[in-house]
Amino acid sequence: MGIYAKNDGGARDNSDVTNSGFINVKKTSSAGILAEKAKVTNTGAGTTGGILLTAVKTAGIIGKAGSLVSNTGSNRKHQGVTPATDTDGLVGIALKCFRQELNECRKI
């Protein structure tokens, strides 16, 4: 994992991650950014930023319940890797929550 943003208390904005470069995930079963009740903003785009997955079972950004994930970056791709089975997935952005509204995880 590249960045782990965990907010144990208080407002979600107390844990704020902003990325404007590359999120490059190279290791199997890894994530570039994992957020728990945190705010994540990714603006990486073009030749100088974005989400690049180069191993199986990877995700660029994972947002768990209580997180707000915003992605305006235009560059999400995989390179040099092809999933062999349905469990070898490559995910740019994953939200793990009970209800999803506009990239925001909320408990119901």
The three state secondary structure string of the chain is: CCEEEECCCCCHHHCEEEECCEEEECCCCCEEEEEECCEEEECCCHHHCEEEECCCCEEEEEEECCCEEEECCCCEEECCCCCCCCCCCEEEEEEECCEEECCEEECC
Reported as a single tens digit per residue, the pLDDT across 8-65 is 887 787 888 999 988 989 999 999 999 998 999 988 888 888 888 999 999 999 988 7
At 106, is the pLDDT very low, low, confident or very high (cuts 50, 70, 90)?
A: low
What pTM, to 2 d.p., does this model score?
A: 0.81
At 104, is the pLDDT very low, low, confident or very high (cuts 50, 70, 90)?
A: low
Residue 83 pLDDT more than 50? Answer: yes
Residue 100 pLDDT more than 60? Answer: no
